[in-house]
C-alpha cells in the first residue's frame, strides 16, 4: 500500500541511494554488457515491512528480458527529479512509478521543460479502466489504484454513513485524519470534501469538523498508529485495510470500512518515461509488462491496492477482504490544475488559525 507523503516543495538536492548501487552510476550502460533500466519510485514499493512488489517485479522482468532492472528510491521521491531538472543535470533514470494526478499538476507547474515523454504505443493501455486515466497529455499511465475511505473499530462504534454524520455530537473526537499538505491520504480526503461541498463550501465543512474535535496528524503512519493504540475509533485510511488485518491475525471487526455517501476517493498511481531517458524503448517494454493481466494481479495483491486494468481476476480471499466503493470519485488533471495548491494552502491557513 502506498503510504507516501505529498510531493515536497523543491529544495536542496537530496542524498540518494540506488537499490544495490550509489546514485549516479548506471551499470551496464554503454559497456557492451546487459542493458540496464533504472526506475525511480517510492521506497515502500520496494521494502514495505508487510509486502511489496518490487523484488518480485525485478526478478520476473529480468527472467524474460535481457535487461537489468535497478530500482532508485530517493528520499524525497519525485521531487528529486524535479530538482535535477531545475538544476539542468542528468535525471539518471529512465522511468518513474508512483505518479498521481496532483503530482503531475505540480510537476507541470514547477518546470518549464517536460520531465516526461508521451507514453506512446504501450501494449495493454486499452485495458486501463477509463475512470483512472488522468493525464490529458498521455504521458502517465496508471498501473494500480487505491481508495481512501474510513477505517473504524466496529467493537467500539458504528461509523456514520455520510460526511454530515461526522459532525454529530456522538462522534465528537472520534476521527483521526492527516494533513493534506504532508500526506497523500490526507490530501485525498480533503479533495473528497472539495468534491462533496465544492470549493466554496469545503472550508466551512472543515471548520465544523474541527469544532467536533477531529485530530489531524502529519502522516498516515502517525495517524494509523494513533488509531491502533486506541486514541480514536476512526481513521482516514484505505479500503484495503482488512487485507493487512487478516494477514496479521487481527480481529476483522476492529477493521471495518466505511464509504461516506457510498463513495471513496480514487487515488491512481501512474508510470511515465523520463523525457531524457537513453533507454526509452526498454522503459516502454517495462510499462507494457506492468499492464499484463497476471502482473496487474500480483501488483495489486503485493502492493495491497486494486488493478488499473479491467482484465484481472483477483484471488477470492483478497477480493473478499479488499473493498471497492459503489461510487469512486476523483478530480481530473484539468480540474486540479491551478486549484489544488490553493485548496491545500487555504485549508492550512484556516486550520492553523482555528
The C-alpha atoms of residue 217 and residue 285 are separated, in whole angstroms, by: 40
Q: How many CB atoms lie within 10 A of CB 254?
A: 16
Average pLDDT over residues 12-25: 35
Average pLDDT over residues 30-38: 71
More confident residue, 14 or 177: 177
Write the pLDDT tens digit of every residue in 168-180. 999 999 999 999 9
Grid coordinates representing 65 are 528480458
Average pLDDT over residues 267-286: 96
Residue ranges per structural domain of the chain: 35-145+268-324, 147-265+335-353
Grid coordinates representing 319 are 477480493
Least confident interval from 14-18, 139-143, 287-291, 329-333: 14-18
Write the pLDDT tens digit of every residue in 194-236. 999 999 999 999 999 999 999 999 988 899 999 999 999 999 9
More confident residue, 10 or 263: 263
More confident residue, 4 or 224: 224
| pLDDT reading at 308 higher than 70 | yes
pLDDT at 53: 93
pLDDT at 15: 32
Instruction: Give the pLDDT band of residue 51 (cuts 50, 70, 90).
Output: confident
291: left (phi over 0), alpha (psi -120 to 50) or beta: alpha
SS3 of 333, please?
helix
DSSP state of 13: P
From 14, 144, 175, select the one nearest 79 (Cα to Cα).
14
Grid coordinates representing 37 are 533500466
**Fold entry, domain 35-145+268-324:** D-Maltodextrin-Binding Protein; domain 2 (3.40.190)
Average pLDDT over residues 78-86: 96
How wide is the angle at C-alpha 119 spanned by C-alphas 82 and 327, nearest 5°?
90
Average pLDDT, the chain: 89
- In sign, the C-alpha dihedral spanning 318, 65, 27, 10 is negative
52: left (phi over 0), alpha (psi -120 to 50) or beta: beta
Instruction: Give the pLDDT band of residue 135 (cuts 50, 70, 90).
Output: very high
Per the CB < 8 A criterion, the answer to whether 98 and 48 are in contact is: no
Look at strands 141-152 and 306-307 and give their pairing: antiparallel
Tell me if the domain spanning 147-265+335-353 has CATH number 3.40.50.720: no
In this chain, the answer to whether the domains covering 35-145+268-324 and 147-265+335-353 adopt an identical fold is: yes
Average pLDDT over residues 79-108: 95
pLDDT at 229: 96
| pLDDT reading at 7 higher than 70 | no
What is the reported pTM?
A: 0.81
From 111, 55, 35, select the one nearest 78 (Cα to Cα).
111
Least confident interval from 10-14, 189-193, 250-254, 319-323: 10-14
Per the CB < 8 A criterion, the answer to whether 3 and 220 are in contact is: yes
Specify the residue for cell string 454524520. 165
30: left (phi over 0), alpha (psi -120 to 50) or beta: left
Determine the distance from the C-alpha atom of residue 165 to the mean position of all C-alpha atoms in its chain, rounded to a whole number: 27
| pLDDT reading at 33 higher than 70 | no
Instruction: Give the pLDDT band of residue 121 (cuts 50, 70, 90).
Output: very high
Amino acid at each position: 500500500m502506498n503510504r507516501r507523503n505529498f510531493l515536497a516543495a523543491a529544495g536542496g538536492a537530496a542524498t540518494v541511494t540506488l537499490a544495490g548501487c550509489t546514485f549516479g552510476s548506471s551499470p551496464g550502460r554503454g559497456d557492451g554488457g546487459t542493458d540496464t533500466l533504472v526506475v525511480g519510485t517510492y521506497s515502500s514499493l520496494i521494502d514495505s515491512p508487510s509486502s511489496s512488489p518490487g523484488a518480485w517485479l525485478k526478478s520476473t522482468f529480468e527472467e524474460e528480458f535481457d535487461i537489468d532492472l535497478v530500482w532508485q528510491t530517493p528520499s524525497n521521491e519525485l521531487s528529486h527529479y524535479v530538482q535535477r531538472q531545475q538544476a539542468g543535470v542528468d535525471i539518471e533514470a529512465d522511468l518513474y512509478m508512483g505518479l498521481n494526478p496532483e503530482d503531475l499538476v505540480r510537476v507541470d507547474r514547477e518546470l518549464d521543460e517536460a520531465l516526461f515523454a508521451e507514453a506512446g504505443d504501450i501494449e495493454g493501455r486499452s485495458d486501463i479502466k477509463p475512470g483512472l486515466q488522468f493525464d490529458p497529455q498521455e504521458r502517465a499511465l496508471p498501473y494500480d489504484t487505491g481508495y481512501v475511505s474510513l477505517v473504524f473499530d466496529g467493537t467500539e462504534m458504528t461509523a456514520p454513513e455520510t460526511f454530515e454524520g461526522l459532525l454529530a455530537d456522538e462522534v465528537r473526537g472520534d476521527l483521526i485524519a492527516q494533513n493534506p499538505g504532508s500526506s497523500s491520504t490526507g490530501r485525498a480526503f480533503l479533495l473528497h470534501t472539495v468534491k462533496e461541498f465544492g470549493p466554496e463550501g469545503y472550508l466551512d465543512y472543515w471548520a465544523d469538523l474541527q469544532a467536533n474535535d477531529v485530530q489531524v496528524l502529519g502522516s498516515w503512519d502517525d495517524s494509523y498508529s494513533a488509531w491502533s493504540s486506541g486514541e480514536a475509533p476512526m481513521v482516514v485510511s484505505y479500503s484495503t485495510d482488512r487485507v493487512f488485518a487478516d494477514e496479521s491475525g487481527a480481529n476483522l471487526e476492529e477493521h471495518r470500512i466505511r464509504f461516506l455517501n457510498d463513495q471513496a476517493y480514487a487515488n491512481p498511481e501512474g508510470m511515465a518515461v523520463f523525457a531524457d531517458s537513453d533507454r526509452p524503448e526498454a522503459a516502454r517494454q517495462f510499462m507494457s509488462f506492468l499492464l499484463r493481466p497476471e502482473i496487474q494481479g500480483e501488483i495489486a495483491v503485493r502492493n495491497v491496492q486494486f488493478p488499473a486494468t479491467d482484465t484481472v481476476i483477483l484471488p477470492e480471499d483478497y477480493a473478499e477482504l479488499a473493498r471497492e466503493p459503489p461510487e469512486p470519485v476523483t478530480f481530473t488533471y484539468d480540474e486540479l490544475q491551478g486549484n489544488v495548491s490553493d485548496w491545500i494552502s487555504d485549508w492550512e491557513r484556516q486550520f492553523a488559525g482555528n
